[in-house]
Structure 1
Amino acid sequence: MRIDVISLFPEFVAQCAAFGVVGRAAERGLLSLHGWNPRDHAEGNYRRVDERPFGGGPGMVMLIDPLRASLRAARAADPALAKVVYLSPQGAPLTQARVRELAGRDRLILLCGRYEGIDERLIAAEVDEEISIGDYVLSGGELAAAVLVDAVARLQEGVLNDVESATQDSFGDDGLLDCPHYTRPVEHELGEVPAVLMSGNHAEIARWRRRQALGRTWQRRPDLLDEAALSKADRRLLDEYRASLAQAATDVAAENPLDQARTAKP
């Protein structure tokens, strides 16, 4: 997969992509990342890439021509058809389903804005899709581009050492959050590892993990459950999780009757 990034700071995205999973993907030849700086296509002694907005107001707006020339250069660098994505807080939210779709493409061109954004005419003429990584505003699109590159790179075949890692992550094939994970030591001052994980009973371990994933999703992201296709077995596991929470709360109250009396409503 080839990803081109158009940015005033292309080296920033390149540095972010040099480590971990993305760096490994590049080393294995599974991903190539290329940066393009609009200043290289700007005119004049100062190579301006921005100007005051029409209609007044604060900030600056990125000019059409330097960005358009960068897009043309990026497209010409490889014959494969490229989808142009503008990283913008006004874009559609980036989801794991969207990441999977983008990861299946041969090429992406990521457009990073700065200041108050870029001229709307360029967006209308050249951009295929706007994507947002969250309901907040950053100083520029570089961080968002780095996030998208990382999310897409780890789904390239051969990047992860264990192919099951991607499918079992949060927002995986079932759309649920991931279950909790534990490692050595078994006993610690912060608690013990659940006994089922050391039982060697793979069926029970799978059942426990599924119940935890369902319960954690119900507690933290109930909206995801509305979209998930839960089986009857899943619903029974979720009921078990809820019942275990209620029982735990009852046990705590029984052990601390004084605290219960203090917090009880009159």
Structure 2
Amino acid sequence: MTFEFDVITLLPGMLEAVTQFGVTGRAYRRDLYRLRTWNPRDYSSNRYRKVDDAPYGGGAGMVMMAEPLDLAISSAKRWQNANLAGKTRAIYLSPQGKHVDHARVLQLASMSGITLVCGRYEGIDERFIVQHIDEELSIGDYVISGGELAAMVLIDAIVRQLPGALGDAESADKDSLVDGLLEYPQYTRPEVYREQSVPRILLTGDHAKIKRWRLQQSLGRTWLKRPDLLIKKYPDGLPDQERLLLEEFKLAEKNITSG
């Protein structure tokens, strides 16, 4: 089944990059997903194709008008209803939305398609959100110029989960954060680079020891950089093996710091 992305955007040209490069480009050429853009300007009743106006109550900036957005997303939904058999969802990319995480990406990838609404200016008319949006999602607590970049991030994350999108079937399963932890450090040739050597354990060929070391490094990196993820993954505390591995990591870090 081909996944369907419908994007409501004033800048459809920006989305072309997704279909041309890297994993998403290859997946697009293999017809693993379709990407359609719907420009609200094409649905404006104004001869100047105006889609924004000043906010009621005053304030800086302009607000995207409800009608052009309404007509654009209605066209997208009609297309989906006629061509898609499974479940779809309308998402507004907004800093007020819930943060996207891997679990949500997997849920979205299991659908037949999604509609992404990219805001511009100071935002969009709230009445459009109430009438058409199923959920709001955010890629982080910072401000960007519009929803297009956020949409591209979400599209990339979803496409990676589509069957056949990645060359190595295990790649998606081993990505950082997939199991709730940050990924262990990676190394390749040469064995020594600028007087720094690859950890000796990775040269032993002992797969059991390597697996243990990698789990320890994932736990340690998560503890150092994102301790909130440890709490989320282990709300009742770390299992005995993970606790011992993390204690060993902490001791090694202490020795390095004090040394």
Letter of the 1:86 counterpart? Y
Cα deviation digits, residues 96-125 of structure 1 (max 9, x gap) = 111111111111000000001100000011
Partner of 1:245, secondary structure, is: helix
Equivalent residues in 2 for 1:178-189 (5 A)?
178-189=183-194
TM-superposed CA distance for 1:190, in Å, is 5.2
Partner of 2:80, secondary structure, is: coil
* Runs of 4+ deviating beyond 6 Å: none
Letter of the 2:251 counterpart? A
Does structure 2 conserve the Cα–Cα contact (< 8 Å) formed by 1:83 and 1:128?
yes
Letter of the 2:70 counterpart? R
Out of 218, 224, 232, the position equivalent to 1:227 is: 232
Q: Partners in 2 of 1:192 and 1:68 — Cα distance? A: 59
TM-superposed CA distance for 1:248, in Å, is 2.0
Does structure 2 conserve the Cα–Cα contact (< 8 Å) formed by 1:91 and 1:130?
yes
- Name the counterpart of 1:260: none
Using the aligned pairs only, state the percent identity.
48
Letter of the 2:192 counterpart? E
Cα deviation digits, residues 220-245 of structure 1 (max 9, x gap) = 00011111133211111111101111
Cα RMSD after superposing both structures = 1.1
- Name the counterpart of 2:79: 77
Give the TM-score normalised by structure 1: 0.91
Q: Partners in 1 of 2:216 and 2:195 — Cα distance? A: 23
Partner of 1:77, secondary structure, is: helix
Q: Partners in 2 of 1:103 and 1:95 — Cα distance? A: 12
TM-superposed CA distance for 1:18, in Å, is 1.9
Letter of the 2:51 counterpart? V
Structure 1: give runs of 5+ residues left out of the alignment. 253-266
Letter of the 1:95 counterpart? D
Q: Partners in 2 of 1:127 and 1:55 — Cα distance? A: 24
Out of 89, 94, 102, the position equivalent to 2:100 is: 94
- Name the counterpart of 2:250: 242
Q: Partners in 1 of 2:164 and 2:183 — Cα distance? A: 22
Give the TM-score normalised by structure 2: 0.94
Q: Partners in 2 of 1:191 and 1:13 — Cα distance? A: 41
Does structure 2 conserve the Cα–Cα contact (< 8 Å) formed by 1:17 and 1:149?
no
- Name the counterpart of 1:207: 212
Cα deviation digits, residues 116-137 of structure 1 (max 9, x gap) = 1100000011000000111011
Letter of the 2:250 counterpart? R
Q: Partners in 1 of 2:98 and 2:64 — Cα distance? A: 21
Does structure 2 conserve the Cα–Cα contact (< 8 Å) formed by 1:175 and 1:228?
yes
Q: Partners in 1 of 2:99 and 2:206 — Cα distance? A: 40
- Name the counterpart of 2:128: 122
Q: Partners in 2 of 1:17 and 1:179 — Cα distance? A: 30
TM-superposed CA distance for 1:247, in Å, is 2.1
- Name the counterpart of 2:16: 14
Does structure 1 residue 169 correspond to structure 2 residue 171? Answer: no
TM-superposed CA distance for 1:183, in Å, is 0.6
Aligned length: 250
Structure 2: give runs of 5+ residues left out of the alignment. none
Letter of the 2:38 counterpart? W
Larger radius of gyration: 1
